[in-house]
Amino acid sequence: MLSQDLAAQFLRMYPLKDICWKDIQQCISSLGYEEAQTAQQHILSQTVLHPYAQQFPPTSSYKRLFLKTLISHIEEANVEVSEILYEEYMRLLSDSASPADGFCYRTYNVSSVELPTITLKETCSLISDGTTGMCTWEASHVLAKWCMEEKEKFHKKNVIELGAGLGLTGITVVHTCQPASYTFTDTHASVLKILTENIWNNQNANKPFANIITTPTPSDGWVEGSVFATKYGNTMVKVSRLDWADSMFNFDADVVLAADVVYDNEVTRHLVKLLKIIFSKIPTTDVYVASTLRNPDTYTFFKDLLASEDLHIKVEICRQYQDSPSQPQHSIAILHIVASTLP
């Protein structure tokens, strides 16, 4: 169990100060010499040398610091460190290669029972190529978990996601809720490229660690109306470029999802205008918007703008999210928005 928990934390690039090193020390120090050596080698095989870490690697710096910290704690426990750990650490020290194009991979345990892992290619920076859309934000985690809890709302439905980013929420819904179709939309070409790669990699995750596949992009590039489509289990999955400012929405949607898209008043105006268009096409559409409550004024502006456009907040669900004990706790609100004309 210890190695399984540690594997999940390592593959997610969990903050090292939040890993329970004392448990590892106690476990290894309670073993005889041969068993302790075997245990260390097992930890290495479940972290740095894990098959997922080989195919979808965390950053080299994270791997080096992880091994350095592990070795230090083993030494503190007065246990002889396995030569294999030293050798792998020295190999990593000599490996100065940085992640390709500034990207790494994080493997998330969304649900240990229903959905073991989702692996996402992400940027190593909060802002990359002029957008914040290439890392996974807090509201996506909360919305993904909530969708799993409410899977009947999405089963055999046509679902559209606005500002899908790297795909955590959508891939979770496709895996666990089995919608009839799921359309990921975003506006930035770089985000759409990585999003499509993430969908492809997770779609083929059951295949025995083939080479990472770079998915084809539309022949005309990611312009308005471009679509990449694939069959993902029983769900028709599409990736499409959608610019909210263009006020174009040519999709049939039973349900609309969005996470962490309320952060700027001008963007919010375009979002609410787009929601009006969606409801004008299909008044019975259910819209769920998850927002991290960073700026109360921005969130209040969003709710006031919805009311001014005659859009009704049917339910407001409040959740707390904390990535790890050392990270700040975030308040997340999920709004269920419907057309005011409905009963």
Asked whether residue 47 falls in the same domain as residue 82, the answer is yes
**Extended strands (E) in 75-180:** 103-108, 118-123, 158-162
Asked whether residue 307 falls in the same domain as residue 168, the answer is yes
**Mean pLDDT score of the chain:** 85
Contact 271, 259 (CB under 8 A): no
* Side-chain half-sphere exposure of 83, counting CA atoms within 13 A: 1
Final residue in a domain of this structure, among 48, 63, 98: 98
Count of structural domains within the chain: 2
Asked whether residue 33 falls in the same domain as residue 145, the answer is no
pTM: 0.88
Mean pLDDT to the nearest integer, 251-272: 93
Name the residue range of residue 166's domain.
102-339
Contact 251, 161 (CB under 8 A): no
Contact 290, 320 (CB under 8 A): no
* Side-chain half-sphere exposure of 338, counting CA atoms within 13 A: 11
Nearest to 193 by CA among 217, 209, 175, 212: 217
Q: Comparing 79-93, 190-204, 261-275, which segment has the lowest mean pLDDT?
A: 190-204
State pLDDT tens for residues 280-337: 999 999 999 999 999 999 999 999 999 999 999 999 999 999 988 998 999 999 999 9
Asked whether residue 82 falls in the same domain as residue 121, the answer is no
State pLDDT tens for residues 110-133: 554 455 579 999 887 654 444 444
